[in-house]
Amino acid sequence: MDQAQRLREFMNRHHVQEEKKQPSRMITITSGKGGVGKSNFTLNFALALKEAGKKVVILDLDLSTANIDILMGATAKLKGSLADVMYQKKYLFDCIEKGIGGIDYIAGGLDIQELMKLDQKKLIFFMNQIQELNSYADFILLDTGAGISKMLVDFILASDETIMVTTPEPTSIADAYSVMKAVHQFTVQPPKFRLVVNRAKTYREAVDTSRALKNASSVFLKMNLNTLGFLMEDEHVGKAVRSQTPFYLSYPNCEASKNIKQIMYTFLPDMEGNPSSPIKGIRGFFEKILFLRKS
């Protein structure tokens, strides 16, 4: 019996609730290089999915660089985080913040090492709590911080899909490639990756960027990187950041908003088709994280 099976047995033995509905899909948004537009993409993409009738929760698993709450105009102290759930100080639903445009947000603040050390009672409480999200959200978007770490690789391997964001800058392309390479080193079965090129000045530049990364991944890593879409350089993005209101709401007709809508139209049909592999969901995500850490 492998570690994951052991963990599942443990969960079943201790009556951790079973999945009742289609699990939420866990989508990690990452980049390698910082400051390329992950958080802005995550928030505005969440708004577009919500507009399409989907329930979305943004989960911030890296408090050191978390700023989604600022982009949403939050000024008050956060109600709680996954760390509070981990230590049984709060119920998960008491930690959900209602952000601008009705987007739900949960702060992470979670130390995976600490999660590993939890006693059985706390671990069962935690797993039961996060599982509650399955009856609540269609998509859980994980906004990650800058930098490549073992934890980021774990998140990517445990997610149902990863959206890689890059700009056309060579340093950003190189860092995106480095993330894919790091993931490649840890698994024989590459996870699903899709690419968003952000801040391209022309369509040509966006196409060239996606080709460069797709070719390098395919030739050197044998990994498939399909393009999810392009987000052009648009001054409205910066303006929206300064006014702490997402551009998708404050400038619904600007180029970046149209690009986000197009990305949502590409993303949803693919997601709703028959998935080739079973959805891991949030429970599968944390089971896998624990398993990867133990192995």
Ligand X SMILES: Nc1ncnc2c1ncn2[C@@H]1O[C@H](COP(=O)(O)OP(=O)(O)OP(=O)(O)O)[C@@H](O)[C@H]1O
Residues that bind ligand X (CB under 6 A): 31, 34-40, 65, 145-146, 198-199, 231, 233-234, 237-238, 241, 256
Look up residue 278 and give its two tokens: 């079973």
Among residues 67, 105, 29, the alpha carbon closest in space to that of 267 is found at: 29
Closest to ligand X by CB, 65 vs 266, is 65
Q: Which does 154 bind (CB under 5 to 8 A by kind): ligand X, Mg ion, none?
A: none
Q: Which does 34 bind (CB under 5 to 8 A by kind): Mg ion, ligand X, none?
A: ligand X
CB 242 to ligand X: min, Å: 8
Q: Are 79 and 47 in contact (CB under 8 A)?
A: no
CB 145 to ligand X: min, Å: 5
As beta bridge partners, residue 143 has 29, 60
CB 34 to ligand X: min, Å: 3
Binding mask 26-65 for Mg ion (x = CB under 5 A): ------------xx--------------------------
Q: Which does 261 bind (CB under 5 to 8 A by kind): ligand X, Mg ion, none?
A: none
Environment class of 101 (CB within 10 Å of its CB; exposed 0-12, middle 13-18, buried 19+): middle
As beta bridge partners, residue 110 has none
How far apart (Å, rounded) are the C-alpha atoms in residues 85 and 94?
A: 9
CB 9 to ligand X: min, Å: 38
Closest to ligand X by CB, 81 vs 198, is 198
Among residues 107, 54, 53, the alpha carbon closest in space to that of 83 is found at: 107
Among residues 129, 176, 131, 173, the alpha carbon closest in space to that of 29 is found at: 176
Site for Mg ion, rule CB under 5 A: 38-39
